[in-house]
Amino acid sequence: MSTQTVTGIIEKYNSEPKSLIAILQDIQANQRHLPKDALEEVATSLDIPLSQAYSVATFFKAFSLTPKGEYCISVCMGTACHVKGGKQVLEKLERDLSINAGETTDDLSYSLEEVHCVGCCGLAPVVTVNDDLFSKVKLRGVKRILKKYGEK
């Protein structure tokens, strides 16, 4: 995604308070988190209390207040993926990346997340990395996925 300024994003939505969530989604997509000054700018421009911006930013799973890695690896923990071994895949990634689910590597390369279903349940277990989707993932295949996003 091209970089847009926070101001540009807010303007795109005409500074409408009802577009708060959409604005935050665009900032999150752009900056991989919601920086403090961005939240402040949003609150001022939309003329809403900063506390409202924060409560929305912390309520929804899509938002993060700390920076996410360049590659966001999401392991599906939906029901279909659960019965087909999604948890084992997650644990393998945790071991290989030396981080727990919900964490980001120190060099900001990878974030590891759990997601509740990406709608490809027929291809369980499923892992996504940014916009790419990997289906019927086997433990042996985890290395290959990481390799693909390894050296920048």
Partner 1 sequence: MEQLNTEPTKTTANAQKPFRMSVLVCAGTGCVSNNSFKVMEALQDEIKKHNLEKEIQIVGTGCNGFCAEGPLLVVQPDEIFYAQLKVKDIPLLVEEHFLKGRPVEKFMYTPPEGEVAIPKMSDIDFFAHQRLIALRNRGLIDPEKIDEYIGRDGYTAIAKALTEMSPAEIVQEIVDSGLRGRGGAGFPSGVKWQLCAKQDSDTKYIVCNADEGDPGAFMDRSIIESDPHSVIEGMLIGAFGMGASEGFIYIRNEYPLALERLHVAIEQAEKYGLLGENILGTNFSFKMNVVRGAGAFVCGEETALIASIEGKLGEPRPRPPYPVESGLWGKPTNINNVETWANVPIIIDRGAKWFASIGTETSKGTKVFSLVGKINNTGLLEVPMGITLRDIIYKIGGGIPNGKKFKAIQSGGPSGGCIPEDQLDLPVDYESLSEAGSMMGSGGMVVMDEDTCMVDVARYFLTFTRDESCGKCAPCREGTWQMHEILTKITEGNGTLNDLAVLEALAEVVKDTSLCGLGQTAPNPVITTLRYFRDEYLAHIEKKECQAHVCRELNTYIIHGDVCKTDGKGCGVCRRECPDKAITGEKGKAHVIDQQLCGKCGVCYDVCNFNAITIE
Give the binding site for ligand FES (CB under 6 A): 76, 78-81, 117-121, 124, 126
Total chain residues near partner 1 (CB under 8 A): 46
- Among partner 1, ligand FES, none, the one that 18 touches (CB under a kind-dependent 5 to 8 A) is partner 1
Tell the smallest beta-carbon distance from residue 52 to ligand FES (Å): 32
**Nearer of residues 25 and 30 to partner 1, judged by Cβ:** 25
Q: Sketch the per residue contact string, 66 through 85, with partner 1: x for CB under 8 A, - otherwise.
A: -----------xxxxxxxxx
- Burial string for 96-133 (b: 16+ CB within 10 Å, else e) reads ebebebebbeeeeebbbbebeebebeebbbbbbbeeee
CA 76 – CA 82 distance, rounded (Å): 8
- Among ligand FES, partner 1, none, the one that 101 touches (CB under a kind-dependent 5 to 8 A) is none
